[in-house]
Amino acid sequence: MTGMTVFPFLYMVSASLMSFQEATGVPPAMLPAHARWSNFGEALHAAPFARYAANTVIVSGLSTVGTLATTILAAFALVRLRFRFKRLLTGMMVALLMVPYEILVFTNYRTIAQLGLLDTYAALILPSLASVFYILYLCQYLTAIPDTYYKAAIVNGCGDLEYIWRIMIPMSRSALFTMALLLFISGWNSFLWPILVTNTTDMRLVGNGLSAFVTESGTAVQLQMAASTIIVLPILILYAVFHRRIIEGVHVNGIKR
């Protein structure tokens, strides 16, 4: 099973180093006779992938920070504060998880278009600044933190924001780190929303840029594979370095007692 999962990636890397004849031959070659590292330079020269990557880092980074901020505040309110209809609100948020993303896309697009924000960073970032899934995930994590910490902080004159910054965030760093990584990876891999709200080459993200490059490069399979490798490699490195932290954040529910 592992071999079946890894093989497409390994072949992508191998094909990125092949000549055109090797990449399109029948039967296909598994390894290049001579590694053609120049394919990467040609792919970068054929399309502005540096610009696509910069756009993606900006959008993914700001979306991640914004989502973390709204998630922390919302989860704190749902877990620690007392207010009317809290259970009803939580139930409605759970129900929202069953709404397909495709249904929300057109409503969001109409809103962004009416605001005149198409083909801007705002259009790419604003709809992703809150996530019901991560709010509920962090709520589940925070319920394992004893309520006595919050009560003791209030007794000692600590306000809600100070409690969040000095106590809640440090105690939830494992979950927050996992959320940040998954949000950034999700932003890096986003495709449908960016292709709807961007019209110019300068605003493309890596996923849309690669899709356009595949169309524009025609039969240059080796260059398409080289471009795919350039785009996928940063995320694979990120996951390889932090995969243990991701697994820990998913499996560890709250603090150890």
Q: Per-10-residue mean pLDDT for the chain, 257 residues long?
A: 76 90 83 90 89 94 96 95 91 91 88 94 94 93 90 91 93 90 92 92 92 82 91 85 73 47
- Please name the residue that has the structure tokens 């801007």: 120
What is the per-residue burial (b if ≥16 Cβ within 10 Å, else e) of 58-85? ebbebbbebbbeebbebbbbbbbeeeee
CA torsion angle 88 89 90 94 (round to 10): 100
- Using CA atoms of 14, 19, 21, 27 in order, give the dihedral in degrees to the nearest 10: -10
Backbone angles phi, psi at 186, to 5 degrees: -60, -40
| pTM, rounded to two decimals | 0.87
Q: Report the pLDDT value the prediction gives residue 34, as an integer from 0 to 100.
A: 87
In 3D space, the residue among 160, 82, 97, 103 whose CA is nearest the CA of residue 131 turns out to be 97
CA 85, CA 83: separation in Å to the nearest integer? 7
